[in-house]
Amino acid sequence: MTDSHEPSGQFVSHLEWQLRTAMSRRDRFSRPTSPLGSRALRLAALILISAFLGGAGVTGSKMVEDSRARDYFLSRIDLQLELAEAQQELMRGRADQVAEQYENLLVGQDALAVARQSLKAAETEYARLTLDREEIVLRGQEPLQSLSAPLVNGRDFVTARLDLQISLVEDQVRLTTARAARAAALVEEGLVNAREAQQHALALESQKQYLEMLLHHRSLRERFLREELSVAEVERAAMATEASCQLEYQSLSIEAARQHLERVRELHQHGMIHEAELRAAELGLLEHELELQRLQLRVTQLEPAREPLPER
């Protein structure tokens, strides 16, 4: 007799059969759907099965012990890959369309750069999922994302995923740098307000901080594989790096929030905006200050583990 909180194999099989039957009936009698919509429905079906399993009390470790765990993880990643492939093709089509418009002087260079960046983001996601699938095939379990994860049959999937993300963010930094420079020039010419340029500058700083964190994580990973750091040391150092980068960005965000509040107060004094907008700006600054205090405490707790950032 099975545990009262654990679904039997017969129950799960019956649930899968019901889902397949319902989807088959939909395909026969409903109007055609797009490939992306069909993939989304298949992914929803898998999520529904997973929800039944999770709701019935089957833990992740129990599923790993189950002989069907590998097939389950592969089925899930295959559906995610199908969706990612469809998104990749969609972004490729849009990039081609914008490139044609750019050649015909219908859009500017900025629009072309954004379209290409969106395509690269989709390609990166597909490549990351491909790595995940290869790891599942080798391990029979979900991919390990932590910096202290062991090699899998001699392969370093953690560093491979980091390299993909680093390449993407480096491109994003180059794009945002150019956009921020253009916005600053427009402010000088009086064509846009300073707040718009400030938003571009903050976006750039956020991406730079994220890139800095990724580079440091890769450095920590290398040191861990050389056995210079223990599992506890590398994970603590990773958390310290993340907290430190967030703190630096939050400090800039607070300055932007203060400048915004000053402008709002001036407009309120001249009766140009409602008091509710002034209160919203004051609350926004307070939230930034509270978050800064939280991050400062977090960095203080983890600071002994902070490693010097790698030279590029």
Mean pLDDT by 10 residues, the chain (312 residues): 47 47 43 48 55 52 63 94 97 97 92 95 97 94 94 97 97 93 86 80 90 96 97 94 88 85 88 90 91 89 61 52
Instruction: Name the residue type at position 28.
Output: R
Whether residue 308 contacts residue 238, with contact meaning beta carbons closer than 8 Å, is answered with no
Query: What is the pLDDT, as a whole number, of residue 39?
Result: 54
Instruction: Please give the helix or strand (H or E) that residue 232 lies within, else none.
Output: helix 231-269
Whether residue 98 contacts residue 107, with contact meaning beta carbons closer than 8 Å, is answered with yes
- Paired tokens of 47: 């999520």
- Paired tokens of 136: 């599942």
**Prediction pTM value:** 0.70
- Residue in the block written with tokens 């956020």: 206
Residues in the chain, overall count: 312
∠184-295-263 over CA atoms, to 5°?
40
- Give 303's DSSP letter: G
Contacts 24+ apart (CB under 8 A), 18-24: 19/45, 19/48, 19/49
Q: Is 84 exposed, middle or buried (0-12, 13-18, 19+ CB in 10 A)?
A: buried
- Rounded to whole angstroms, the Cα distance separating 55 from 52 reads 5
Query: What is the pLDDT, as a whole number, of residue 299?
Result: 87
48 Cβ contact partners less than 8 Å away, ≥ 6 residues apart: 19
- Rounded to whole angstroms, the Cα distance separating 42 from 36 reads 10
Query: What is the pLDDT, as a whole number, of residue 27?
Result: 43
Instruction: Give how far the C-alpha of residue 149 lies from the chain's centroid of Cα atoms, to the nearest Å.
Output: 20
Candidates 52, 44, 122, 36; CA nearest to 76 is 44
